[in-house]
Amino acid sequence: MDRSRSTSPTLFREGAATPDIESAPTSVPPSQIDLSTGPDNEKQLEKRDIESDVGAWLCVFASMLFLISSYGFMNSLGTIQSHLTLNELNGYSVSQVGWISGTYLFLSLIFNFQIGSILDRYGPQILGPIAAAFSTVTFLLLAECKQYWHFILCLGLFGSIGSGIGAVTAIGVIGKLFTHRRGLAMGIAVMGTSLGGIIYPMMLRATFGKLGWAWSMRLVALVIACITSLGVLCYLPFRRLTEGQATAQKPQSFSLDLSAFKSLSFVVTALGICMVEFVNYGISGLLPTIARGAGFSTEDGYTLLSILGVCSCLGRFSIGFVGDKVGPFNAMITTMLVILVFISSIFIPFSTTSAPLMYTFTALWGYCSGSFYVLSPLCTGKTCEPQDYARYFGQEWSRAAIGYAFDEVTPLWFLRDLHDIIILLPTQSYAIAHQMKTRRIVGPLDQRKRLTRCQSCARRRIKCEGGTPCEYCVHMKKNCQPQAATVSELKFVSHSVVPQHTSNLQPQISDKPDSIYQKTFFLFLQRCEFTPEFAQLGSDFLPLIQTCAPLREATVAIGALEISRSPSARSSDELRSPYHFALKSYSKALTSLQYSIQSPRALHCQGVLWCTLLLSLFELMIEVSGGQWAKHMLYGTSKMLELSGTDSRSDYLGCQSVETFRLLEGNRAILYGEDTILSDYSRMDQHDVMTSNPLDEILNFIIKMSSFISSIELSQFQKINDAIIQI
């Protein structure tokens, strides 16, 4: 019987095979009717059998190896950036060095647009060796880099190609081979990112100090060459496993393919994953900075990263397995809600006030956030067919390129506020916790070893903005003083002594930076543990500062340098940091000193003399080798004291500054084995001028020994040494 063609919408596409139910024999039971759609049913059965094949799990192992070399190294960029900032690129700011990492991350992800399409057409047999070659050569070239643009081209451009190819290949292969157990397979593979985040920092920290930059990079290149070569071999079963499966249609050219964005479900999923990954990467990167700002040591920051990596590794495996049971979208939403609870109840109110809670949040955050690396590819797989998975995944993760690069180069304070805005959107409870953050503590508690809050903020248990004075003390017209350290540590400056003479100063300091840095200079003298004489220098310098411009600039330079060492230091001049102000004041002091020395009264001016002493102290604080300090002492203070004559020397003996000079000059003489002006300064040993004590006797003996050693020849010293050995 003929039927007219229906114009209503049909379930099957035009040209697709439909089950012919009416033409089946009447004697056949309905349960035995063939409802297949042709050969596609056989492919689906074969697809289910693939997940039990050993070759499929070898491909999972290969994906884990490639993720160690790509995303695993991405998690270790902080170690590379920190080393470059302190060594090879120490002349560049942190934000400038951050552009290297930002370029690397951005290009590694933005290249995913086209890599996924190529993987759908040709498989990992071609892209795997290419990724291995690019990644290995990148680190061999990094060993030869010396200048800033070398690192931009080598790591930022060349290295991003290998990293992007390796990461998309690793994730795309699993999406093509697995359907029912994709979460478990993906969880095992992405454990490589956590393993890389643990292996690379430990290896680089151990080799930077012993082997240097060049050989450390060559060692990393050797490790990557080994693991990627093994990964290429493990991808060999992929061609056998995918024979007979539908592949993506090969286009006529390699033009940019953005067809995945035609799917509305994919666009919404990609947008949500982009926001989640932006927050995930940003908070993980901010943890060491938050720890340092709260008073944690640098080693505590490394410990937090290690805890984050280990717990993240566990979360990726376990939550990926759960995603197969309850569905990836359900697992993602549940994990986000749990994270919101942790952030609202632990991170915002207590993470910077309690070490145990900081470690607890880091472990919980690592476990939950690690699941995003597993659930994000699973959610993407629900929006496409297996043969198109790599193309969809590559284009979805390309959106994260903007977020990753923005995380790297954005100032930390703005980044933290932006993360707050993003997390505020899902739940109103986070808004209440955010209000708590503005009132609660950001500095450490009184029981902590390192204290950054002033006494007034500590008593009020509120956030201290840092600086001397802080904003709260200025607003409330309080005397801003640091807290007393309860634990003795080996350090150059101690906070255990509260200055006495500064009580005469105004409790509210003006907005001019000079006055703030001068007050910090006197606080520095009181807290210095190098010698007790430093605490008495203020009585000598205070009247001279008003009349001697070089001495005034030298005190400002030391005060600004001391403030710059604080992790919460902020400059009153928003355009210049305290460290920049210290260098500028040091330059002004040198220029003013050169002008003052040309005056006939320079040799009789105590301010000029002690300015040379403070400049040498500045060099000792800023340069650990002490070379410039020794030059300042030898050709500065010592020469001025020598040219001043005997009459002027008598005036200096009553000053506390001369005791500091004697101690520093005596140390310089014995350390460098040189003669000193103190050996000819006979009046230094007279008991009627100053009270003799054991320290003076030891110091005089050191001075005589340095003079004796410098007066004899090397051959005579060798003869004396041989005679001592024979005896």
Is 258 a residue whose pLDDT tops 70?
no
60 Cβ neighbours under 8 A, 6+ residues apart: 174, 185, 188, 189
- Clarify whether residues 410 and 521 are in a common domain: no
What local confidence, expressed as pLDDT, does residue 226 receive? 92
Question: Look-up: residue for tokens 């995913």?
Answer: 112
In our burial notation (b when 16+ CB lie closer than 10 A, e otherwise), range 421-450 reads eebeeebeebeebbeebeebbbbbbeebeb
Higher pLDDT pick, 527 / 502: 527
From 381, 409, 434, the end of a domain falls on 434
The tokens for 364 are 């919980």
What local confidence, expressed as pLDDT, does residue 21 receive? 35
Higher pLDDT pick, 529 / 504: 529
Torsion of CA 522, 528, 534, 540, to 10 degrees: 0
Q: Using alpha carbons, select from 398, 362, 403, 396 the residue that is nearest to residue 376.
A: 396
- Clarify whether residues 391 and 520 are in a common domain: no
Higher pLDDT pick, 61 / 509: 61
Q: Using alpha carbons, select from 423, 401, 420, 197 the residue that is nearest to residue 312.
A: 197
pTM to 2 decimal places: 0.49
- Over the stretch 563-582, which tens digit does the pLDDT of each residue have? 877 655 554 444 467 888 88
Amino acid at residue number 455 = Q
- Rounded to an integer, what distance in angstroms lies between the CA atom of residue 362 and that of residue 347? 9
How large a percentage of the chain has pLDDT more than 70?
Answer: 55
Q: Is residue 686 part of a domain?
A: yes
> CA quadruple 677, 681, 686, 691: dihedral positive or negative?
negative
- Clarify whether residues 411 and 545 are in a common domain: no
Amino acid at residue number 145 = C
- Clarify whether residues 689 and 563 are in a common domain: yes
CB 155 within 8 A of CB 77: no
User: CB count, 10 Å around CB of 593?
Assistant: 22
- Clarify whether residues 418 and 517 are in a common domain: no
From 401, 434, 467, the end of a domain falls on 434
Amino acid at residue number 41 = N
Q: Is residue 10 part of a domain?
A: no
The tokens for 297 are 């040591």
Q: Is residue 722 part of a domain?
A: no
| HSE-up (13 A, CA, CB side) for residue 340 | 19
Higher pLDDT pick, 213 / 98: 213
For residues 612-632, average pLDDT: 74
Amino acid at residue number 193 = T
Question: Look-up: residue for tokens 């990094």?
Answer: 142
What are residue 454's DSSP bridge partners?
Answer: 482
Q: What is the DSSP letter of 5?
A: P
Q: Which of 140-154, 186-200, 255-269 has the highest mean pLDDT?
A: 140-154
Mean pLDDT of the chain: 68
Q: How big, in percent rounded to 5, are the helix, strand and coil portions of the chain?
A: 70, 0, 30
Cα distances (angstroms) measured from residue 126 to each of 48, 230, 236, 435: 26, 15, 11, 53
Higher pLDDT pick, 137 / 664: 137
CB 402 within 8 A of CB 106: yes
- Clarify whether residues 426 and 300 are in a common domain: yes
Look at 49-58, 212-221, 225-234 and tell me which has the smallest mean pLDDT: 49-58
- Clarify whether residues 636 and 507 are in a common domain: yes
The tokens for 79 are 């170690």
Confidence category of residue 415, pLDDT binned at 50, 70, 90: very low
Helix axes 159-177, 372-381, angle to 10 degrees: 60
Indicate the burial class of 647 (C-beta count within 10 angstroms; 0-12, 13-18, 19 or more). Answer: exposed
Q: Is 19 left (phi over 0), alpha (psi -120 to 50) or beta?
A: beta
Range of the structural domain that residue 532 is part of: 497-717
Higher pLDDT pick, 703 / 508: 703
What local confidence, expressed as pLDDT, does residue 282 receive? 66
- Over the stretch 5-56, which tens digit does the pLDDT of each residue have? 433 333 333 444 444 433 434 433 433 434 343 434 444 444 446 777 888 8
The DSSP secondary structure of 25-48, one letter per residue, reads -TTS-GGGS----STHHHHHHHHH
Confidence category of residue 222, pLDDT binned at 50, 70, 90: very high
- Clarify whether residues 421 and 549 are in a common domain: no
- Clarify whether residues 524 and 672 are in a common domain: yes
User: CB count, 10 Å around CB of 387?
Assistant: 17
What local confidence, expressed as pLDDT, does residue 447 receive? 35
Cα distances (angstroms) measured from residue 257 to each of 60, 254, 271, 421: 27, 8, 18, 33
What are residue 493's DSSP bridge partners?
Answer: 528
Torsion of CA 277, 283, 286, 287, to 10 degrees: -130
Higher pLDDT pick, 399 / 684: 399
CA 651 to centroid of chain Cα atoms: 53
Q: Which of 9-23, 376-390, 479-493 has the highest mean pLDDT?
A: 376-390
Q: What is the DSSP letter of 493?
A: B
Cα distances (angstroms) measured from residue 240 to each of 120, 236, 712: 15, 8, 84
Is 197 a residue whose pLDDT tops 70?
yes
- Clarify whether residues 356 and 502 are in a common domain: no
> CA quadruple 317, 320, 326, 329: dihedral positive or negative?
positive
For residues 432-442, average pLDDT: 33
Q: How many structural domains compose the chain?
A: 2
Confidence category of residue 488, pLDDT binned at 50, 70, 90: very low
The tokens for 384 are 């496409």
Confidence category of residue 495, pLDDT binned at 50, 70, 90: very low
Q: Is residue 447 part of a domain?
A: no
Q: Is residue 523 part of a domain?
A: yes
Q: Using alpha carbons, select from 235, 129, 135 the residue that is nearest to residue 177.
A: 235
- Rounded to an integer, what distance in angstroms lies between the CA atom of residue 146 and that of residue 646? 53
- Over the stretch 149-158, which tens digit does the pLDDT of each residue have? 888 888 888 8
- Rounded to an integer, what distance in angstroms lies between the CA atom of residue 721 and that of residue 725? 6
Q: What is the CATH number of the domain that holds 51?
A: 1.20.1250.20
From 411, 434, 457, the end of a domain falls on 434
Higher pLDDT pick, 258 / 190: 190
CB 399 within 8 A of CB 270: yes
Q: Is residue 389 part of a domain?
A: yes
- Rounded to an integer, what distance in angstroms lies between the CA atom of residue 16 and that of residue 38? 9
Is 613 a residue whose pLDDT tops 60?
yes
- Clarify whether residues 413 and 524 are in a common domain: no
Is 499 a residue whose pLDDT tops 50?
no
- Clarify whether residues 658 and 525 are in a common domain: yes
Task: Work out the end-to-end distance of the chain between its first and last CA atoms, rounded to an integer number of angstroms.
Answer: 128
- Rounded to an integer, what distance in angstroms lies between the CA atom of residue 466 and that of residue 293? 10
What are residue 482's DSSP bridge partners?
Answer: 454
Q: Is residue 553 part of a domain?
A: yes
Q: Is residue 289 part of a domain?
A: yes
Question: Look-up: residue for tokens 């060798």?
Answer: 718
If DSSP codes are grouped into helix, strand and coil, which group holds residue 528?
Answer: strand
The DSSP secondary structure of 664-678, one letter per residue, reads HHHHHHHHHT---GG
Q: What is the DSSP letter of 465?
A: -
The tokens for 190 are 């992405």
Is 413 a residue whose pLDDT tops 60?
no
Is 683 a residue whose pLDDT tops 50?
no
482 φ, ψ to 5°? -70, 160
Q: Using alpha carbons, select from 582, 455, 86 the residue that is nearest to residue 298.
A: 86
